[in-house]
Structure formats: C-alpha cells, structure tokens
Structure 1
Amino acid sequence: MNIEDAIAAAPYGESERLSPRIRRILAKNPSAFTYLGTGTYLVGTDQVAVIDPGPDDDAHLRSILEAVGEGEVSHILITHTHKDHSPLAVRLSERTGAAVWGCAPLAIEDDGPRSDAAFDTSYAPDHVMEDGERVAGEGWTIEAVHTPGHTSNHLCFALSEEQALFSGDHIMGWSTTVVSPPDGDMTAYLDSLRKLQGREETVYYPTHGEAVRDPKKLVRGYLVHRKQRENQILTLLEDGEKTIEEFVKTMYAMVNKALHPAAGRSVLAHLIDLERRGLVCRQDGDAGERWSKA
C-alpha cells in the first residue's frame, strides 16, 4: 500500500484497542516526519494516562475526550517537546484537570534544515520525571526511561504490567529516527539504543507507526545501520578530506535530492560522534567546513 492509500485508510479519530490496558487514537497530521500522524496512547480505563496528546487540534482533542468518556484522566505524559507530540497537553489539562508529567522543557532554534517538527514553546510540565521515576493509576504503572538522542530531553515510558514500552520518536514503527544537531546527539542516541537492549520489554508502541513486536531485533538492526553509516564515512575519508555535501552525494545517491539537506544533518551527527572519539577532525577552508581522518 502506498502512502496516499495508507493515509486514506487510516482510522483517524477512532479509539483502537491494542491490549487490555492500551488504546490508541491517531491524529490527522500525516507528513514526511509523522508518517500517518501522531499516535496518542490511552493507558487504563477508569483512570487514564494520556501519552503524547499531539498537535493542538480541535478534532483530536474531541476524540481523546470521547474515548475517555466517564473515566478520569489522571496524568498527561510527554515523551519530548516537538510540536507533533506535546502542544495539546495545555488544553487537555484545562479540560480534565490532569497534571502534565514527563520530559523537561526544551525549546531551541535549530539552524539546520529540519526533517522533523519544531519545538513546542508552550510546554510547561507540572512535574519533570527523572530516569526510573514511576507514576501509577488504577491497574497500571508507568516508568520514565531517559533516552536522549533524538532530542536531549527525550523519554520513553515503560508499562510494567504488560512489558510494553511507549517509545516516542526514539524507536519509530516506520523509519529510523532523526538525529539532528545541535540538540540531536548521535553519541547519546547510540547509548540510548544500547540501554533499551538491556531492558525486558517485549513490545514497543511508537508515536509514529505500528507496534514493534520484535523490538530487540529492531534495535540491533538500528545499531547495525548506524555502524554501516559510520564505516561509510571513514571509508570515504580514505580518499582525502570531504565536506558534508560530498559525503551526502555519495552516501545518499539513491535518495531524493530534496532530502539531501536533512541527510546532511545525520552525517553531521555521525561526524561529531567520530570527532569525540578521536577518529576524525575538522577544519575551516575557503569552501567551508571540511573533515578528515584524525
């Protein structure tokens, strides 16, 4: 099924039952970085935690409130502060009285070409959750798992009763995640992937895309993919110094050129990681910043 047909068939606004404790409502905000849209998760029945309420959208707010029905929203949980994840928290909190818990506030300007959403400047949590901190409601317990990389403030949320992980944008169900400096950090991202390898969750629920039923295999694949990109960079540097544009031209030759500026951000993230490890170095030249083997 192509993306146009998938969008046409997507169950926007419907409350989908995924497990005894978990429902998902898909916001109608499809795009190149949200896939079919933002998946908002409701955990619990009579007492509900809402994870990533999504964009500030009237129809999506109505869908969440209808799904909650006579129940109580006890917590609104936020994985990170991109505009496709957190803005609706303000109005959902006003309508339900629920406190906003989750990641730390973060709103920065990124001087590079974006391939994800900008930061939400309205986000003001009632409580910032520390790594390993838990919140509980009727029939559920959720643990915050600090997973920086996509953003420095990114959290995943683990549901202990079902060995499930709400993976935000750290692990997505349709694509690899964006790691774009200055806030996106490849070193932190790889460390966060390894951190998840050591955990026991058996299913991931990403904010974008479908559930991941073999998460350890997928995480291994992501680590292999990033290692391959790293090796490509080091191999290309054997022929002499390169600009980011030169890396992208070779490494992403089969990718639409309109996406090359964003691909350059991923290359930059890898180069910064390699620089920290003493494997590459950079220097300024007449044609801009160039990179070489250390």
Structure 2
Amino acid sequence: MIEPQPSRWVQSSELTRYRLAPNPGPMSLEGTNSYVISEGFSAGAMPDVHGPTAGADAPAVVVVDPGPLDAAHLGELAAAGRVELVLITHHHADHTEGAEEFHRITGAPVRALDASLCFAAPPLADGEVIEAAGVRIEVLATPGHTADSVSLLLPDDGDQGSVLTGDTILGRGTTVIAYPDGRLGDYLESLRRLESLGSKTVLPAHGPVLPDLGEVVRAYAAHREERLAQIRAALERLGAEAPVAAVTDLVYADVDASVRRAAETSVAAQLDYLRGWA
C-alpha cells in the first residue's frame, strides 16, 4: 500500500489549497496542481487527510483537475473534504486521467467544457456562475492552449480575487499552443480577456502561484509578439512556405530534445496564425 504524502499540500490562497500530483516532466514541470476549493479553508486550516474519504462533518469542497490515475493522490484529494463537485480545466491527461476513478470514489459530479469528460453532470458553459462549497466560481472560456480550456474566477478569494488558469497561464515559463486543437488567435483573445480581470492571484495548474494576473498576461503577450517576430524573420530567410521543422531549427535552435515536439507544435500554431488565422 502506498503511504500518503501530506507534505504535497500547499496553501495557495484564502479559499484554495492544492496537492502536487506525482507526475513531473518537461511539460508538467513539478507535476499537476490539483486544487481543492472551500469556504471552510478561509480560517487557514490545511486539509485534514484522515481516510479514504472525508467524513460527514468535513467541509464541503470542490476539486479542480484531479490529475493522474494515482491511488495515493486521488485518495488524499477525496479525504480533503466532502467533495461536492469536480471541475476540469481542459482535456489533457495530466489533468483528467484520474477523473472517472475519482467520480467513482466520491460520487461527485464531474464537469468540463467538453461533454465527453463529464460524469453525472452537464458540461460547463462560458459565463456560468457556480455556487459550491460556499464559494462563488465563475466559468470563463479561455481557448488557445486547447479548444476546451477554461479558467475559473473566484471573485471572493482574498482582497483581489483569484483565477485558476489551468494551462492557459503557468506558474513558470510559457504555455504551448496545442495546435491544431489549440489556436494562437484564440489564445491571444483569451489573454486579453484575462488581462481585463486585473490584478487577481494566478492559481496555475503547473508551477507556483503568482501574485498579479494582469502583469503575467502582459508578459505572456509580449513573449508571443517576440516569437511571432522571430517566425516572420525565419520565413523571410527560408521562404514563405518553409516547413515547420525548418522554422523550428532556426527559431528554437537550442531547444532540448525532450521538448522538441512542443517547439514544433508552437511553430505550427504561429505559422497557422500568420498564414491567415480566422
């Protein structure tokens, strides 16, 4: 039997905690941050991990992105409170692989923008307001990383509020546009939408919590403009119809082999955008 690892719990904001999933890698950084949201955390207490599922007297919680199919990880999420609802930020396996099993363990409905990821509940809708675990959660469609990406606004989380950004904004580094599912034009529009929220706390699905959403979004947008300028320069040198691999060789010359595929995906997304995204 795998022993639980309470040290993986991190206090991320007044209304949230996350548990770091044991799935580190080049794309997932230290691993996936599986969040637990509850009004019951406002006093500052960490989740009480005490059994396979939480007792009737435990606070109601919402779990976001249960993560990989790992028994210890899912067990501790289930023990963090009475799971009222599970929300999914997007379909990638490092966020969703354990969702069906977690639904089985807890009985909690699972909701995502993509209906195929839902269990015992309808899909999410852009602009929907959810009241669960004593917390107001606003659903924002933020496509770009993937077509089904959503961010979750917690307007009452601390003085400024917070946003769970999934992979749309990371705690470190920048986000891959998972082309052709994700599109750069969509992503730039999503960044503008997030910037309009102002200085919210950023609760990313990978990497550390960040203090100012607006500041991070502006840095992300500047990075995208720099990359687009590099792609334009590469096309001037290689020709307008240069293949993805050749452009990647030029623009990402020093990229590690472990993330070469991600670099090619990013280049493909940028070429699609420059060649007439609509």
For the criterion TM > 0.5, the same-fold answer is yes
1:82 and 2:95 correspond: no
What TM-score do the two structures reach when normalised by structure 2?
Answer: 0.84
Number of equivalenced pairs: 249
Distance 2:133 2:144 in 1: 32
The counterpart of 1:15, out of the listed 1, 9, 12, is 9
SS at match of 2:93: coil
Contact kept? 1:13, 1:60, Cα under 8 Å: no
Distance 1:57 1:97 in 2: 18
1:134 and 2:129 correspond: yes
Contact kept? 1:13, 1:26, Cα under 8 Å: no
1:101 and 2:111 correspond: yes
1:247 and 2:247 correspond: yes
1:180/1:14 Cα in 2 relative to 1: closer, same or farther (>3 Å)?
closer
Distance 2:171 2:252 in 1: 22
Distance 2:65 2:260 in 1: 29
Kindly indicate which of the two structures has a greater share of residues assigned to strand: 1
Q: How does 1:140-179 map to 2 (within 5 A)?
A: 140-162=135-157, 163-179=161-177
Q: 2:246 is aligned with what amino acid?
A: E
Distance 1:140 1:175 in 2: 30
SS at match of 2:91: coil
Contact kept? 2:37, 2:133, Cα under 8 Å: no
1:78/1:201 Cα in 2 relative to 1: closer, same or farther (>3 Å)?
farther
Using the TM superposition, give the Cα deviation of residue 257 of structure 1 relative to its aligned residue in structure 2, in angstroms: 4.3
Contact kept? 1:13, 1:27, Cα under 8 Å: no
Aligned residue number for residue 73 of structure 2: 60
- CA RMSD in angstroms comes to 1.9
SS at match of 1:158: strand
Contact kept? 2:20, 2:31, Cα under 8 Å: yes
Contact kept? 2:109, 2:118, Cα under 8 Å: no
Distance 2:13 2:264 in 1: 39
Aligned residue number for residue 196 of structure 2: 198
1:39 and 2:33 correspond: yes
Distance 1:43 1:196 in 2: 20
Aligned residue number for residue 283 of structure 1: none
* 1:178-228 deviations in Å (ceiling 9; x for gaps): 113220211111111111111135101011111011221111111111111
What TM-score do the two structures reach when normalised by structure 1?
Answer: 0.79
* 1:32-65 deviations in Å (ceiling 9; x for gaps): 1111111111111311110111111101011112
Q: 1:96 is aligned with what amino acid?
A: T
1:252/1:93 Cα in 2 relative to 1: closer, same or farther (>3 Å)?
same
* Runs of 5+ unmatched residues, structure 2: 41-58
Distance 2:257 2:232 in 1: 23
1:201/1:130 Cα in 2 relative to 1: closer, same or farther (>3 Å)?
farther
Distance 1:248 1:213 in 2: 33
Aligned residue number for residue 264 of structure 1: 264
Distance 1:60 1:15 in 2: 11
Q: Percent identity?
A: 34
